[in-house]
Structure formats: structure tokens, C-alpha cells
Amino acid sequence: MRPVTFVDGTLREGEQTAGVHFTMDEKIHIAKALDNAGVGILDVGMPSVSAGEREAIRAIVKLGLKASVGVSVRMRKQEIDQAAACGASEIFIICPVSPVHMKSKLKMSSGQVKELAKELTVYGASKSLTVNLVAEDAARGDIPFMIALLDQSYSLGAKRVFICDTLGLMDPFKMKTMVEDIRAGIPDEVGIGIHCHDDLGLATANTLAAVAAGADFPAVTVNGIGERARNAPLHEVGLGIEKIIQRSSHLDHSRLYDLSRLVERCSGIFIPPHAPIVGLNAFRHESGIHVDGLLKDSQTYTGLAPEEVHRSATIVLGKHSGIRTIEYLLQLKGIEAGQDLMVRILEQVKAYKEAEEKAENQRMVEAVEQFYTRHLSFPEGVFWDIVHRVIAEYE
């Protein structure tokens, strides 16, 4: 099988997360970190968003990264022109393919969409851009129509096509079948990408199913940040492809944790403690049964070695700790203790934890809610001040 190449959209769809905004310096820092982690293609924005967005795209292009720098465009020639003017190497043409998207968004028939896609593919290729046709809402699209559209795009110069579960409606079994059907219907030379949303919590599973079925370009974001309930997270898909699908990629897993923390700081979207691989508790152990097993053989309760992702295992004291934890911690300090003494220590450890004040938990919950309300929203009062000021200036 061909190696997998990751397509990261943290700087495009990740920034489309409600309330998230990256500064120029943050975008450059994230782009460099993605490049160092071995991500092969970056989708760094939509040139049509603003002059500031175009300035940021140009700045990233000038970094001279190993990764190919692409941007997303709608089905408009002027947006392709903007992409070329920014110096992007690739464009991702967002092409609605489901009946509801074609009818409601574009007000076009499938034949008209196919004709417009043809025109824009040729136009993008004429600008010396690598063309990727993104089949938006493919999960609700007609497979024969999509095969004809994607095959046409390749024949006209598109290098890759992307299948999108835009609303997170698919399951891994349907996804695998759909990708296999599309893979069988278009030339082997066409690179197939997969772009999944997590509305039902299946973005990672669906992405892995697509890769197992022959997709070569999984689209991801760091920490999964993105529209609504998030996208497929880079760290989950990256480790899943190696551990489960057993396909090769150029991803440096040792850099994923630092990359996740960087995007956490820049986005203001906090990583849940229980998040796989990058969460605080991913490699922490409290349960007496688990700690006893780990101390006998780390493989008893370790499926992924923390060192692979630049982390380490930690034993945590708490209500569910056991005698073996107390013994281990005392041994680290060279303290010998009998069973009765260790039992007394353990009882007091558990009593301390059970008596712990819970008011701090509530204060933290309220503080986080206030932070999200303030920083992941737009103040209504400020909006109406802008409206009244602009109206006054216009008059």
C-alpha cells in the first residue's frame, strides 16, 4: 500500500471553531510545528475570508516548509485567483455533492454542478495549482454521480479527491463500503482523501475505516478542533493508522503531545483530562488493581507505551489506591514498612481524598464556563455598537 499522507486543517477548519481566532504569530508557530511533526499537506485557510487571512497565508508560504501549503476555496474563479496570488501550492475546491447541498446551497442540478466542477478544475490547473476536489457531504451523496464527478476531475487535472462526512452521519462499516466502491470506480492513480466530522463520536473510526479501504490522505486537525463537535484528531488517527491499520506515514509521534498543547494554548479549547494520548490522565493510574499489574509487568495495562508519544506513566494516590502503591512509593524513598503500617497509611490516604473539599471543583467549572462564554463568543453589545457606528458613518 502507498504511504499515508496527512492533510491537516487546523489553520483552516480548526480556526472555524466557533469563537477561535489565531494571531499571525500563532499561525506561523503552528504551521512550523505541524511541518516538524511530519504532516505532508497543510490547509492553512480560505483566502476569501479577509485581507488578514491572505496575509497569513502568504507568510506561511514564505516559511519554505517541507509540507505542501494549500488553501480551501468555494466554487468561484475569483477565489482560485486569490489562492494563486497568495502563493499557495494547492487548492481544495469545496464541491457540494449531496442533493440537499446542490439544491439549497448552489441552487444547481447535479449536471450543472458537474459542469462547474469541470470548469474550475481546468481553471485551477491552468494556474499551476495542485487541484484537490472536495466532495462535500459525500455521505449523503449518490455514489454513481460522485464516481462520475471525481473521475472527470482527475481526467481534467485534479490530483486528489476527498470524500467528506460533513455532518458526521456515517458509521465505519458504511464508510468502508463507500470508499471501496469509489476506489473501484476511479483510476488507481487518483489519490483519495477522507474528511470526517465527529457529531456522533465516530470521526476517528470512520477515518480509519476509510484508510483501511484505500484512502491515502486522511484530513485531520490538531485536537480535532473544528466545526460543531470537532473533526478527526491528528493524534488519534495518527496512532490508529500505525497500531490498527498498520500503514506507514511520515508522522513523528514523539511531537504530537507538544503540538496538542500548543494548539490548546492558541485556541483556548482545553484538552479534556480523559482525552486519548494527549489528555492529562492518558497515562496516569490510581486503581490498586491496575497499579499492581503495571508494577508486575507494564504490558498488563499499557497498550501504547507513553514514551512513543513523549510522555511518561504516573501513579496517582487516591480513594482507589491499593497496598502495592503504598509499598512502591515507600520503596522509592528507601523506607521499609510492615503490612499493618502500610494499611494504616493507605486508610489515611483514602480518608484524606474522601474528605477533600468539592467546592473547588464547582469554582473551576464556573470559571471555565465564564472563559468560554467570554472568549469563544462575540459580545452582543460590541456587535450593536459596531452596527450603530457603521450606520452613522454610512449616512
Instruction: Name, in order, each residue with C-beta under 8 angstroms of 157's C-beta and a sequence gap of 6 or more.
Output: 121, 122, 124, 125, 131
Instruction: Inform me whether the pLDDT recorded for 394 exceeds 90.
Output: no
Q: Which of 215, 136, 145 is nearest to 177 (CA)?
A: 215
Percent of the chain whose predicted confidence (pLDDT) is above 70: 100
Phi, psi of 186 (to 5 degrees): -125, 160
pLDDT at residue 66, rounded to an integer = 98
The CB-side HSE value for 10 (13 A sphere, CA atoms) comes to 30
Domain map (residue ranges) of the chain: 7-267, 284-354, 362-394
- Whether the pLDDT of residue 210 is over 80: the answer is yes
pLDDT digits (tens, 9 = 90+) for 268-282: 999 999 999 999 999
pLDDT at 172: 98
Confidence band, pLDDT 50/70/90 cuts, at residue 3: confident
Cell numbers at residue 302, please? 499499557
Q: What is the mean pLDDT of residues 249-256?
A: 94
pLDDT at 1 over 80: no
**Average pLDDT of the segment spanning 38-59:** 97
User: Region 131-146: what's the mean pLDDT?
Assistant: 97
Residue-level pLDDT at 395: 75
Q: Look at residue 233 in the predicted model and tell me its pLDDT.
A: 98
Rounded Cα–Cα distance for residues 36 and 329 (Å): 38
Do 225 and 269 touch, CB atoms closer than 8 A? yes
What CA–CA distance (Å, rounded) separates 34 from 252? Answer: 10
- With a pLDDT cut of 90, the percent of the chain lying above it is 94
Mean pLDDT of 105-124: 96
Q: Which three cell numbers stand for residue 312?
A: 511518561
Picking from 300, 297, 294, 260, the residue whose alpha carbon sits closest to that of residue 280 is 260
DSSP letter for each residue of 155-223: HTTEEEEEEEETTS---HHHHHHHHHHHHHHS-TTSEEEEEEB-TTS-HHHHHHHHHHTT--EEEEBGG
- Give pLDDT tens digits for 330-340: 999 999 999 99
Per residue in 345-356, pLDDT tens?
Answer: 999 999 999 998
Q: Place 288 in a pLDDT band, splitting at 50, 70 and 90.
A: very high
pLDDT at site 294: 93
Q: Is the pLDDT of residue 48 over 90?
A: yes
The CATH class given to the 7-267 domain equals: alpha beta
3-state secondary structure of 55: helix
Three-class DSSP labels, 314-376: EECCCCCCCHHHHHHHHHHCCCCCCHHHHHHHHHHHHHHHHCCCCHHHHHHHHHHHHHHHHHC
**Averaged pLDDT, 85-114:** 96
Mean per-residue pLDDT for 131-141?
A: 97
Residue 2's pLDDT is: 77
pTM: 0.94
- Residue 225 DSSP SS3: coil
pLDDT band per the 50, 70, 90 thresholds, residue 219? very high
Distances in whole angstroms, Cα of residue 264 to Cα of each of 14, 196, 211, 224, 225: 11, 21, 27, 11, 9
Find the helix or strand (DSSP H, E) in which 150 lies. Answer: helix 143-155
- Exposure string of 318-333, with b = 16+ CB inside 10 Å and e = fewer, is eebbbebbbbebeeee
**What is the rounded average pLDDT of the residues 12-36?**
97
Kindly state the cell numbers that stand for 370. 465564564
- Quick one: average pLDDT of 170-181? 97
Residue 139 and residue 169: Cα distance in Å, rounded?
A: 7
Residues 6 or more apart whose Cβ sits within 8 Å of residue 381? none
C-alpha distances (whole Å) from 2 to each of 153, 161, 245, 334 are 21, 16, 13, 53
How far apart (Å, rounded) are the C-alpha atoms in residues 177 and 72?
27
Confidence grade of residue 375 (pLDDT, cut at 50, 70, 90): confident
Kindly report the average pLDDT of the chain as a whole number.
Answer: 95
